[in-house]
């Protein structure tokens, strides 16, 4: 969606009017999704990233003011999701009385596309708190650790939400000073773990390359992505390419909010890794480092061709030199829409982008002129990039699709260990054990990711892998529920040699198991230990035995021969 009007204000800021439909700004900002907004008169003031913003509804528009000079407003449109067609979404809802009543009651309330880390951290801080209290905690946290942002003259100071790196350097007492209480150690440990950049897409990639007949350690392979070096998923995966496959991975193309890039010989992964470390988007890639035929579209660099027409900068490598070209809005949008989808590569990893970017109406954008998919495989690093219909259409054309729920299970694993660490370790112990603990957890995530990928690819050619992904989750959940029901009436032993206790300890990272075994056995609540045992056994059964396994008489023979009702006297 394009902003209707944009103008500089006398105080140095900028104002824009964004056309909207079916948008209730007050309901959206007051709904408890985000905690950095406050109502001032008939407007709302808040912080998005490093921007101070004032928003006001007026008929079918949202009038936005920024304290700094802004020439490009995609970040705000994306945050507010102004370009989402609510009518088309409503058509997908069940046509029943309950849903119609819900839609009528909440029509116009939108989901905000928040920064993932800010959203996760706010969720941690929201436990058992009311909205006004969460707002206070977040305000104190940002004021103490976040970077200052520009505000209008005479306005009270404001700060960006602190990064994981900033919070990882804090201690628990400093966080408690922000009135977050028992949530402080949870936030600190989560920040430390996230700051380490544990993303499991790379482990799925290695297994998938092998399935395609490629040894990624020895043979070159091509990859294209969505998301920039400063993104959580895309940035970590780009860094993984540099760390694990510096000589074989050829990253041909990507796109983020700052632009899109293409290099037929592959981007310089060392430069990409440095952008990742610096938290910079793709527009900061040096164009002189492009190979012949490559280009960089920088959506942040524009010029006015006339009072009503803007042009955007594209830098191309031609005849060994960087050539600047200014293109029209139509040409810019065409490049943004088609560059990544049309580049041919072995693997496509969507690590950023809006939900349903590829859907049943446009999945053909992923096909070449002959109607063949431009990648042999897709690993969904970012959730919901493909709609279910687009997945199925591409699978029918032979694309191997690793669904987001399979590619991203490392996040769930990491969260479970964060909870366990909080139950077993003090803050000081966690910081002391952090290097070894992180190494343990990364190893576990790598192993589970390989298990998931192998379980999926074992069914290749027999079923669509997106279906297999659902079956794996359903089977693990079913086994977990059955085991939890069985364990509910059992008393767990603290004997390390007890079979169930062994399962509990085998689940734990090596550092916790070797150094804090007694605490695990005595201090972790029984209900939590039973959940760990059930989940551990369920996923090991599915990964080791496969989806087709069901217990045979031989499998249950040890139980039979020990049952007096069966064997008698």
From first to last of the 569 residues of the chain, give the pLDDT tens digit: 444 455 555 555 788 999 998 899 999 999 999 999 999 999 999 999 989 999 999 888 999 999 988 888 888 998 998 888 777 777 777 788 888 888 888 888 998 988 888 988 898 888 778 889 999 999 999 999 999 999 998 899 999 999 888 888 888 889 999 999 888 887 887 787 666 554 345 567 777 777 778 888 889 999 999 999 998 889 988 998 998 899 999 999 999 999 999 999 999 999 999 999 888 999 999 999 999 999 999 999 988 877 678 899 999 999 999 999 999 989 999 999 999 999 999 999 999 888 889 999 999 999 999 999 999 999 988 778 999 999 999 999 999 998 887 887 777 788 788 889 988 998 889 889 988 998 899 889 888 888 888 888 777 777 888 898 889 989 999 999 999 999 999 999 999 999 999 999 999 999 999 999 999 999 999 999 999 999 999 999 999 888 888 777 777 777 777 777 777 65
Helix (H, G, I), strand (E, B), or coil: what is residue 394?
helix
Q: Are residues 176 and 232 in the same domain?
A: no
Q: Are residues 61 and 138 in the same domain?
A: no
Q: Final residue of a domain: which of 407, 433, 465?
A: 407
Tell me, yes or no, whether 251 lies in a domain: yes
Select from 393, 334, 331 the least CA-distant residue to 358.
Answer: 393
Q: Are residues 9 and 74 in the same domain?
A: yes
Select from 21, 89, 12 the least CA-distant residue to 61.
Answer: 21
Residues with Cβ within 8 Å of residue 388, at least 6 apart in sequence: 466
Q: Are residues 85 and 52 in the same domain?
A: yes
Helix (H, G, I), strand (E, B), or coil: what is residue 185?
helix
Q: How many helices (H) and strands (E) does the chain have?
A: 24, 17
Select from 522, 530, 529 the least CA-distant residue to 486.
Answer: 530
Yes or no: say if 253 and 225 are a contact pair by the CB < 8 Å rule: yes
Radius of gyration, alpha carbons of the chain? 26
Question: How far from 81 is each of 74, 113, 206, 207, 298, CA to CA, in Å?
Answer: 10, 7, 35, 36, 22
Tell me, yes or no, whether 506 lies in a domain: yes
Helix (H, G, I), strand (E, B), or coil: what is residue 146?
coil
Q: Are residues 402 and 434 in the same domain?
A: no
* H/E stretch holding 301: strand 295-304
Q: Which tokens is 187 given? A: 């936030």
Question: How far from 55 is each of 24, 42, 113, 538, CA to CA, in Å?
Answer: 12, 9, 16, 49
> How far is the C-alpha of 477 from the C-alpha of 480, rounded, in Å?
5
> How far is the C-alpha of 412 from the C-alpha of 525, rounded, in Å?
20
Tell me, yes or no, whether 475 lies in a domain: yes
Tell me, yes or no, whether 299 lies in a domain: no
Q: Which tokens is 221 given? A: 């392979």
Tell me, yes or no, whether 258 lies in a domain: yes
CATH number at residue 26: 3.30.310.260
Q: Are residues 185 and 265 in the same domain?
A: no
Tell me, yes or no, whether 278 lies in a domain: yes
Q: Are residues 397 and 421 in the same domain?
A: no
Q: Are residues 162 and 242 in the same domain?
A: no
Tell me, yes or no, whether 331 lies in a domain: no
CATH number at residue 169: 1.10.340.30
Q: Which tokens is 250 given? A: 């050829």
Q: Are residues 33 and 69 in the same domain?
A: yes
Select from 478, 482, 528 the least CA-distant residue to 507.
Answer: 528
> How far is the C-alpha of 34 from the C-alpha of 45, rounded, in Å?
12
Domain assignment of residue 146, given as a range: 131-195
Q: Are residues 164 and 222 in the same domain?
A: no
Question: How far from 152 is each of 5, 11, 65, 309, 425, CA to CA, in Å?
Answer: 21, 7, 10, 29, 45
How much is the pLDDT for 304?
83
> How far is the C-alpha of 276 from the C-alpha of 290, rounded, in Å?
18
Q: Final residue of a domain: which of 166, 195, 224?
A: 195
Q: Are residues 436 and 541 in the same domain?
A: yes
In this structure, how many other beta carbons lie within 10 angstroms of the beta carbon of residue 556?
11
- Count of domains in the chain? 4
Yes or no: say if 269 and 277 are a contact pair by the CB < 8 Å rule: no
> How far is the C-alpha of 34 from the C-alpha of 80, rounded, in Å?
11
In this structure, how many other beta carbons lie within 10 angstroms of the beta carbon of residue 54?
19
Biggest CA pair distance of the chain: 98
- DSSP letters spanning 512-564: HHHHSHHHHHHHS-HHHHHHHHHHHHHHHHHHHH-TT----TTTTHHHHTT-H
Please list the residues that pair with 439 across neighbouring strands: none
CATH number at residue 389: 3.40.50.720
> How far is the C-alpha of 315 from the C-alpha of 287, rounded, in Å?
7
Q: Which tokens is 419 given? A: 């909870």
Select from 483, 481, 489 the least CA-distant residue to 504.
Answer: 483
Q: Which tokens is 242 given? A: 């540099």
> How far is the C-alpha of 511 from the C-alpha of 508, rounded, in Å?
8
The strand pair at 37-40 and 375-379 is best described as unpaired
Tell me, yes or no, whether 314 lies in a domain: no
Exposed, middle or buried, 121 (CB in 10 Å: 0-12/13-18/19+)?
buried
How much is the pLDDT for 164?
85
Q: Are residues 270 and 394 in the same domain?
A: yes
How much is the pLDDT for 202?
55
To the nearest 10 degrees (0 to 180), the angle between helices 232-244 and 201-211 is: 60
> How far is the C-alpha of 124 from the C-alpha of 422, rounded, in Å?
13
> How far is the C-alpha of 160 from the C-alpha of 66, rounded, in Å?
14
Yes or no: say if 200 and 445 are a contact pair by the CB < 8 Å rule: yes
Q: Final residue of a domain: which of 366, 384, 407?
A: 407
pTM score, two decimals?
A: 0.60
Q: Which tokens is 538 given? A: 């369920």
For the chain, the residue count is 569
């Amino acid at each position: 969606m394009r902003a209707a009007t944009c103008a500089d204000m006398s105080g140095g800021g900028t104002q824009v009017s964004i056309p909207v439909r079916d948008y209730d700004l007050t309901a959206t900002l007051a709904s408890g999704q985000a905690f950095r907004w406050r109502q001032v008169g008939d407007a709302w003031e808040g912080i998005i990233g490093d921007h101070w913003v004032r928003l006001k509804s007026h008929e079918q528009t949202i009038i936005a003011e920024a304290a700094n000079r802004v020439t490009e407003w995609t970040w705000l449109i994306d945050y507010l999701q102004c370009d989402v067609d609510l009518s088309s979404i409503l058509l997908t809802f069940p046509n029943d009385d309950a849903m119609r009543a819900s839609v009528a009651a909440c029509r116009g309330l939108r989901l905000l596309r928040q920064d993932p880390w800010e959203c996760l951290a706010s969720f941690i801080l929201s436990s058992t708190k009311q909205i006004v209290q969460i707002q206070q905690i977040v305000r104190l946290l940002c004021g103490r650790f976040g970077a200052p942002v520009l505000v209008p003259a005479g306005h009270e100071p404001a700060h960006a939400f602190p990064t994981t790196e900033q919070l990882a350097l804090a201690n628990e007492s400093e966080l408690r000073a922000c009135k977050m209480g028992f949530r402080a150690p949870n936030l600190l440990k989560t920040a430390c773990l996230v700051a380490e950049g544990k993303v499991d897409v790379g482990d799925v990639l290695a297994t998938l390359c092998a399935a395609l007949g490629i040894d990624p350690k020895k043979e070159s392979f091509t990859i294209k992505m969505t998301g920039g070096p400063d993104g959580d998923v895309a940035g970590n995966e780009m860094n993984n390419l540099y760390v694990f496959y510096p000589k074989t991975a050829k990253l041909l193309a990507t796109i983020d909010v700052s632009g899109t890039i293409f290099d037929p010989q592959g981007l310089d992964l060392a430069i990409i890794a440095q952008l990742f470390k610096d938290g910079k988007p793709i527009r900061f890639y040096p164009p002189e480092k492009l190979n012949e035929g490559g280009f960089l579209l920088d959506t942040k660099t524009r010029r006015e061709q006339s009072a009503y027409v803007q042009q955007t900068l594209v830098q191309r490598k031609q005849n060994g030199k960087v050539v600047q070209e200014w293109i029209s809005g139509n040409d810019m949008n065409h490049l943004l829409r088609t560059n990544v989808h049309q580049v041919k590569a072995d693997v496509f990893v969507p690590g950023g982008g809006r939900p349903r970017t590829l859907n049943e109406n446009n999945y053909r954008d992923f096909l070449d002129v002959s109607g063949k998919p431009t990648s042999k495989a897709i690993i969904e690093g970012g959730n919901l990039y493909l709609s279910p219909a687009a997945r199925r259409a591409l699978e029918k054309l032979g694309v191997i699709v690793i669904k987001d729920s399979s590619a991203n299970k490392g996040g769930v694993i990491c969260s479970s260990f964060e909870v366990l660490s909080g139950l077993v370790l003090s803050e000081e112990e966690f910081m002391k054990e952090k290097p070894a603990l992180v190494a343990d957890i990364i190893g576990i995530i790598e192993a589970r990711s390989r298990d998931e990928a192998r379980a999926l690819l074992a069914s290749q050619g027999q079923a669509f892998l997106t279906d297999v992904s659902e079956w794996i989750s359903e089977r693990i959940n079913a086994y977990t529920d059955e085991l939890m029901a069985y364990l509910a009436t059992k008393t767990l032993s603290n004997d390390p040699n007890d079979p169930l206790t062994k399962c509990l300890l085998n689940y734990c990272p090596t550092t916790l198991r070797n150094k804090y075994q007694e605490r695990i056995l005595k201090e972790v609540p029984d209900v939590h230990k039973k959940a760990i045992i059930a989940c551990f056994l369920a996923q090991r059964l599915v990964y080791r035995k496969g989806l087709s396994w069901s217990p045979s008489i031989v499998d249950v023979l040890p139980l039979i021969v020990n049952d007096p009702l069966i064997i008698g006297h």
